[in-house]
């Protein structure tokens, strides 16, 4: 064979091995004037300066008990994963302080250019803190965790979001703003096949209440001209062995879910989407952890990367048996801890909102070498210690 043929074969092989990097990451400022901060991902996986686009809504903060006072929480203002999400070339962001959700179109040629579609849409709940969207079913669902709590969904099109349907309760009795982190909604997200909507709800160690998984099937219309909807009849399962169930991700190619638990680390749940039954299959007790709350599964390494708001490190966990694969200490970059994160290509993008003294930043880690390749400080885009959520356009 010609050496050029060998070269092409080699290049073909490498092209298969090295996944394309993502196109952009997004976070919300979650300030009084909420905005979406968009940062472009370069071909080498690194971030550069981006844009800030108002959502037309307001952010807010959960209250945390500190001695006999209640104070606004930050970092981790919304005690959630997925305060914003991407489906196709659309982006959805919650406005916890104005009880709305905003939809944007992403310009695929310029992924940091966002155009709001319609107006922010009112949700029937209070304090929306997490959003899920299905491109396949054109559905968006918002979890609200205030005095009126539960999950509400609507269909969407390129013209915007339709009317949100009635709240599906998740068994909470909260205030607006809620007092957390315990007993609040953590995340809403769709299964890999987008046929089920899941919700994770934190239990409360003080009252010995376990974490709850909500399972709501997507109903396909009988008539192809109608739209899909999320069933009002869901199942809420109190999952034995969990406590403060937080951010989650479906595990591709299985019906299992990977969930973090602020009380001990992480777990793999086996879930029967038909009956809604859920149980702990494997548990990862992460030594020295403070509050392991967010997860991203890397499509490249096929492992989970989890973060802790109280520790500046990323822990890699096996998707097969929840064993700890690596611990990357990032303390040299000076962040107090990490919250939401996403994986794209062979990189992991993890947000630190800072703490008011330390600036917000995104750490870019190579998922293979587990080395930090960039520490990108968010300056001048409205980011603060209230900043929450990470979404990625791949
Ligand atoms: C909800 O909580 C309030 C106090 O915060 C209490 O008075 C009320 O009884 C609770 N309701 C339910 C249904 O638990
Ligand atoms: C903010 O975080 C830095 C780095 O961990 C720490 O040195 C500093 O004391 C923190 N400041 C506050 C106000 O918590």
pLDDT digits over 121-164, tens only?
Answer: 999 999 999 999 999 999 999 999 999 999 999 999 999 999 99
**How many other C-beta atoms are found inside a 10 Å radius of the C-beta of residue 369?**
10
Rounded CA separation 23/127 (Å): 30
Mean of per-residue pLDDT scores for the chain: 95
> Closest residue (by CA) to atom 14 of ligand 2?
355
Tell which one of 72, 332, 358 to mutate to probe ligand 2, the residue whose CB is within 8 A of the most ligand atoms: 358
Rounded CA separation 105/352 (Å): 26
Is a pLDDT exceeding 80 seen at residue 303? yes
Q: Which residue has the tokens 């108002």?
A: 54
Closest ligand to Cα 179 = 1
Count of structural domains, the chain: 1
- What is the domain range of residue 334? 20-393
Whether 341 and 307 have beta carbons less than 8 Å apart is answered as yes
Q: Which residue has the tokens 């409205």?
A: 382
Regarding the beta carbon of 356 and ligand 2, being less than 6 Å apart is answered yes
Report residue 1's pLDDT band, with 50, 70 and 90 as the boundaries: very low
Q: Does a structural domain hold residue 5?
A: no
How many angstroms does the Cα of residue 184 sit away from the middle of ligand 1?
A: 15
How many angstroms does the Cα of residue 110 sit away from the middle of ligand 2?
A: 36
Please give the share of the chain, as a percent, with pLDDT higher than 70.
Answer: 96
Report residue 2's pLDDT band, with 50, 70 and 90 as the boundaries: low
Tell which one of 337, 357, 359 to mutate to probe ligand 2, the residue whose CB is within 8 A of the most ligand atoms: 357
Q: Does a structural domain hold residue 11?
A: no
Which atom in ligand 2 lies closest to the alpha carbon of residue 312? Answer: 5
pLDDT given at position 274: 85
Q: Does a structural domain hold residue 10?
A: no
Q: Does a structural domain hold residue 321?
A: yes
> What is the CATH classification number for the domain harbouring 97?
2.130.10.10
Tell which one of 355, 356, 361, 377 to mutate to probe ligand 2, the residue whose CB is within 8 A of the most ligand atoms: 355
* Closest listed residue to residue 186, CA positions, set 62, 100, 102: 62
Closest ligand to Cα 385 = 2
The helix/strand/coil state of 17 is helix
Which residues make Cβ contacts (< 8 Å) with residue 290, sequence separation at least 6?
A: 308, 309, 310, 311, 337
pTM greater than 0.85 (yes/no): yes
Q: What is the average per-residue pLDDT within 104-110?
A: 97
Q: What is the average per-residue pLDDT within 186-215?
A: 97
Regarding the beta carbon of 357 and ligand 2, being less than 6 Å apart is answered yes
Q: Does a structural domain hold residue 45?
A: yes
Q: Rg (Cα) of the chain, in Å, rounded?
A: 20
pLDDT given at position 325: 98
Regarding the beta carbon of 97 and ligand 2, being less than 6 Å apart is answered no
Regarding the beta carbon of 332 and ligand 2, being less than 6 Å apart is answered no
């Amino acid at each position: 064979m010609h050496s050029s043929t060998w070269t092409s074969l080699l290049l073909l092989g490498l092209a298969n091995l090295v996944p394309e990097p993502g196109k952009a990451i997004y976070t919300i400022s979650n300030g009084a004037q909420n905005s979406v901060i968009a940062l472009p991902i370069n071909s080498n996986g690194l971030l550069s300066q981006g844009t800030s686009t108002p959502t037309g809504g307001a952010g807010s903060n959960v209250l945390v008990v500190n001695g006999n006072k209640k104070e606004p929480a930050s970092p981790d203002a919304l005690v959630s994963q997925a305060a914003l999400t991407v489906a196709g070339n659309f982006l959805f962001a919650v406005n916890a302080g104005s009880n709305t959700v905003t939809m944007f179109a992403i310009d695929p040629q310029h992924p940091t250019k966002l155009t709001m579609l319609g107006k922010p849409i009112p949700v029937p709940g209070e304090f929306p803190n997490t959003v899920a969207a299905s491109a396949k079913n054109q559905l968006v669902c918002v979890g609200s965790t205030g005095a009126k709590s539960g999950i509400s969904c609507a269909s969407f099109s390129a013209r915007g979001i339709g009317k949100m349907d009635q709240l599906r309760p998740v068994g909470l009795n909260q205030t607006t703003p809620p007092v957390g982190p315990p007993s609040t909604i953590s995340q809403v997200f769709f299964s890999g096949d987008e046929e089920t909507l899941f919700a994770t709800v934190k239990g409360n160690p003080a009252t010995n209440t376990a974490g709850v998984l909500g399972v709501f099937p997507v109903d396909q219309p009988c008539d192809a001209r109608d739209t899909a909807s999320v069933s009002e009849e869901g199942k809420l399962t109190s999952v034995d062995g969990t406590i403060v169930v937080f951010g989650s991700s479906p595990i591709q190619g299985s019906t299992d879910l990977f969930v973090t638990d602020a009380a001990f680390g992480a777990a793999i749940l086996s879930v029967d989407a038909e009956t809604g039954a859920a149980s702990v299959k494997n548990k990862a007790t992460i030594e020295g952890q403070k509050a392991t709350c967010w997860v991203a599964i890397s499509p490249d390494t096929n492992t989970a990367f989890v973060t802790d708001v109280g520790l500046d490190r990323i822990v890699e966990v096996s998707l097969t048996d929840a064993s700890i694969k690596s611990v990357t200490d990032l303390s040299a970059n000076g962040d107090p801890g990490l919250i939401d994160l996403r994986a794209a290509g062979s990189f992991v993008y993890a947000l630190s909102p800072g703490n008011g003294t330390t600036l917000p930043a995104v750490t870019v880690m190579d998922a293979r070498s587990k080395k930090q390749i960039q520490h990108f400080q968010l300056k001048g885009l409205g980011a603060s210690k209230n900043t929450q959520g990470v979404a990625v356009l791949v």
